[in-house]
Structures are given as structure tokens and as C-alpha cells.
Structure 1
Amino acid sequence: MTVRPHRIAVLALDQVVGLDLGTPSQVFTTARATDGTPFYDVRVCTPGGRPVRSTAGFQVLPDHGLELLDTADTVIVPGIHDGGALTLGTVAPEVAEALRAAYERGARIMSICTGAFVLAAAGLLDGRRATTHWAYAEQFRRLYGRVDLDPGVLFIADDRVLTSAGVAAGIDLCLHVIRLDHGSEVANRAARRCVMPPWRDGGQAQYIERPVPKATDTSTAGAREWARQRLHEPIALRDLAAQARMSVRTFTRRFRSETGLSPAQWLLQQRTDHARLLLETTDLTVDQIAHRTGFGTTAALRQQLHQRIGVAPSAYRRTFHPRPELIDT
């Protein structure tokens, strides 16, 4: 039985950010089955199918108009650098209507960078958590006070509405969606094709402009790599600080500056991601995976997995392991 690819409509508006526009096509088309079958069909549209100007100095000549949103499984709005959504809190009525109609019939809606302004202007972010490029956070808050904005993360998924931070964070969001749809193994292959890490540590807080740290501060990267090799072991904050040759206080401050997360949050993220990969690619029992990833007990792994992605380990394995029926979970 042949399964049709998931249909993605990329909605380009005038002054669309060039990199944002190309990101969905580049990332999603690298997600394929082992036999080369594509999982996604990505197409670009504009209002009325008319050309729009990009911020990169070229025009976009689309093959589709807003009718593409009528049949799309996912709609993505790239960032923009001008227009009513950015300056007045408004968007063309036909665009708002098309976006709302797509959401109401069950489509997943995504934005990259300042594309969140368009979703907010269409009313799709009211009462939701969302993010956008950190440099536009105050402008966003002034225009869209009903949105719970968090400018410190790379992306946010609130039900079927997903928003990402600036530029490269759009790649992080697309890889996250591939991971949700097809598992870590497919997402990791797509990331390798894009020459990207499958998951970046922390959030965009690490990129916000701040005073240059003192020269005596050193990186925590070595300590993070040390921890990744020992996820099965108990790892205390003082152990991480010792690896970086810092005091606990200095290490904690520097770690958050570099990753946007506390050491404890980062460690939970690493352990959960490793557990997901083992659930997908090994025949280990859930109890064995809990021990190998440092959770210690099945109950602790179940709690973290449910908190982060909303499913139990056994349910996750049934979805993403190639032959879950052969595994005693």
C-alpha cells in the first residue's frame, strides 16, 4: 500500500525572509524512508499566486495561490521584514481567513521567525504560548498582548500551532516535526543531510546580545560532552563543575549563558533524547533503557517521556520502532 506524502504549504508574503522561505523545502525533502520514498511534499504559495519580493533581493514566482492551504496537512509561514503584521498588528483578510480555515479543518500551523506576527494577526496565537526572534520580542508584545510570548526558546509547540525563533531555529523546528512524525532516526538522517546537529542544546537565550564575559570564564562544552558519555551514571552538579575546573556558582552561570538551560534541565533533555533513540533502534526492554539513560526506574523514564512528548515509552516504541511486536516492553 502506497502512502501519500504529507502535504506542506509554505505561505510566502511580501518581504519574505529568503532563508526562512527555503528552509522547509530543504529540510523536509531530506526526510525519506530507507528505500528513498519521500515523506513530505513541499510547495510554495502566495496570495493570488502573485510574485512577492524577498528580503534577499529576488522575487518569488509561486506555482500556487492560497487555495493550496485548502488541502495542506501542514502550513508554514516564513518570517517577514515588513507589512501590517509587523507594524500594525493586521494581515490581509484573505490570508487570515485561509490560515484560520486550514487550522479549523485540522491542519498543523507553523511559523519561522517573524512569521509568528502573521499567525498572531490572524488570531491563531491568542491565549497560546509562542516565540519569535528575540530582537522582535518587545515589538511583538506591544502588538499582541493576548499571546504568551517566550523569547528564550528555539521553538514552541502548543497543540497544532508551532512557532520558532529566528532564522536557523526554523531548521530546529522542522527537524522537531520530522522527529514527531517519523522518529529520531529519520530526523537524525535529515539533520546529517543538512549538516546540522539533530538537536541544539538550550534556547535562543544563548544568542541574545549581552556584555562580553570576562576572559577568565571558559566554556562548559567539555563538561557537556563528558556528561553525554556517562548518561547511565549519576551526575551531580559538582561533578560537571569539576570537569570544567570552575566553582559550582561560576559553572551554573556560564552553563545557562551558553545553553539557555540549567545543568539539570539540560541533563534531563539529553537523557530523554537518548532514551527515545534507544526505544526506536534497539531491542532493550524499557527497564534496561531506563537504567542506561540514567533514569534508574521505568517509572521515572515514563514520567519524563510523558511530560516532554505526551506518550508512554511503550506507546512511543510501537509508533517508531520498525518491529515493535518482537520486543517485550
Structure 2
Amino acid sequence: MLTLLVDRFFFMITAHGVVFALLMSGVCVAFSRETNQRICILNLSSEEYIGRIFYNKFNDSVITASAFKSDNYISLKCRTTRIEYIQNGHPDTGFLVFESELLKWCSSLQIDNVNAKAVTFCAQHSIYKVFELRNYSMLYSISGTDVQGIKTSYISRGLMMLIYTDARRHAPLKFHSIEDGCVLKSFSYPLHHTRVNFIELFHEKVLVKQENENLQILDVLTSELIEVNRTKSMVLIMFFYKAHLDDLWLGQNAGSIKISSILIGKCLAKINARNTSVIKECKCSGRRCNLSKPIKGTKIKSTLEDALKNITSIFYDEERGEIYTGQRLGLVHVWSK
């Protein structure tokens, strides 16, 4: 187990041995996974607030969505920067993308690294646009009228799901080809409660979790429906559903990380608080990092029990086979086999 100490933690991604930690203050810090030291800060000025960061595997770059004080933090500007430049400590070598889009804070950006697509939503004009990730060219647009949300499939190729609003207890769903936007299938999903925890697209399957209901998994191609007991379903979505982390933790103090089968809910692995480990530390606080240059990590002692407290975010690095967790106190833990 490795630990890096930063400001209050919000979100993270990893790529090619670089850990990108996005803090609640809007500062994004890049760490080297090889040396466990800070590389650089991605913010180009103290007035830049980075709201999201994405990895584009098709040109080995990261995309940041930022707002600026000079604009009262209203508009979003998207910038792409190659990983190799960041590894060399030069985050200022990127360039702007999606410049034609009028993106406000109520707008959105999704990156689909399986289908090589980016999906933007302009709230002012209520329109979705799909871009090619390889060269950022626009492919087509879809009207966002009466659309509650849009989901792309991050595991299988070709599908995009649009969730429409309905005054009745139904969720109208339309499935489009992500390549050209053509409608492939549509139907209404019955809802028993006004509160829906989530509706997600995973593979060619729709996952629906309603309040006090079992998790339902519907195969879009065959219409086969599978139910997973709700006592198990709360711990099986950690790697692809980050918006409901509170549902993943069984206790407020020393919890445990469970990795379960998405189809049957069976627990495949579990991390418990049992051992003590020596970890390395890099101190940062506030909007800017305290370190003007990377320094050698100092050794501190931490327990696994401490590492499993107050988890706010979780990420799985498929390339290295590691789990990354972030805490409210600003610690990033890396769990290796």
C-alpha cells in the first residue's frame, strides 16, 4: 500500500505511470507512480479551477475541463495535453479543444475511450454533439429536448443510451449507434419509485437501481432480465459507477473494499484493515502545492484501518491492476497485489 498526502480529494485517473489527483479546491496534481513524487500542477494559473479530467488513450493525452475567475467561473474551457509533456513537467504545452461549443457549468462532457468518442451537452441550446477523439472533429448532433441524461457504453462498442423524461412512472430509453447516431432500439422501463439511484449502461446491459429495490440488469439485445439481491448490489459497482460511493461503504470508520461480480453479486475479493504499512508522503495544501520542486518522500506510519476510513472516491487502473482510493483528509492510497 502506497499513500500520497494532498489537499481534500475529489477525483483521480491514472495513465502511463502518472497519477492525476483532482482536489476539491480545483487544483490538479500529477504524481509519478514510479517515484511516488509530485511531477507538476496542471493548473496554468491561480485563477484556473479544473472541474474534471479525462484520459484520451487514442493520442495519449489528458483533457481538462476548467473554469476561470475572469469569467466568474461560468464557462468551461477544455484543454488537451500529451502525457509525455506532463511527465517532463510541461503541462503548458497543450491546446484548446471543443472551442466551438458553448459549455457552461450546467453543460457536460463525457469521454468514451472504448468507442473513441467525446459527447458534449450544451445546456443553453439543449443539444448533444458527438466528436471523434482521435482528431476532435464533430460527427453529428442530437436534440436534447426532454432528454434527462445520456450514457455511453464504456465496455462494449457501439451503443449510446438516451434517458428521456416522463411524467408517468416510466423511463423512456433510446439506444443509438454511437458511430452515426441512428436509433437501434427504444422502449420504456417501468419505475416503481420516484427515487431512482441510478440508470447505467454497461456492456449491452442496462443497470437500474431503484430505492429499496433489487438491482435489475436488462440485456438490451435479448431483453433478458436479471435481479441481484439489494444487500449485495451495493458493493458491486465500484469500478464504473463513481457517483454513488456512499452506497459502497459498510461503515463510517474502518470499512472494507469489496470487488464483486457484476452479474451475480458474488464477492471476488476483499480488502480488510489488518496490517500496518510504511508509506511515503508528499504534502500539499490549499489551492497550490507547497512544493516548488519534487522532493524525496518522508516516511510516516499508517495503518490499513486508517486507509479505509472516509473514502470519497475510488479508481481502478487496468494497466497496472491497482486500486486507487482518495479520502476526505486528502490521502491517496494505492492498493497493489
Q: TM above 0.5, one fold? A: no
**Coarse TM-score class (shorter-chain normalised):** under 0.3
TM-score by length of 1: 0.27
Question: Hey, which of these two has a bigger chunk of strand by percent?
Answer: 2
Question: Hey, which of these two has a bigger chunk of helix by percent?
Answer: 1
TM-score by length of 2: 0.26
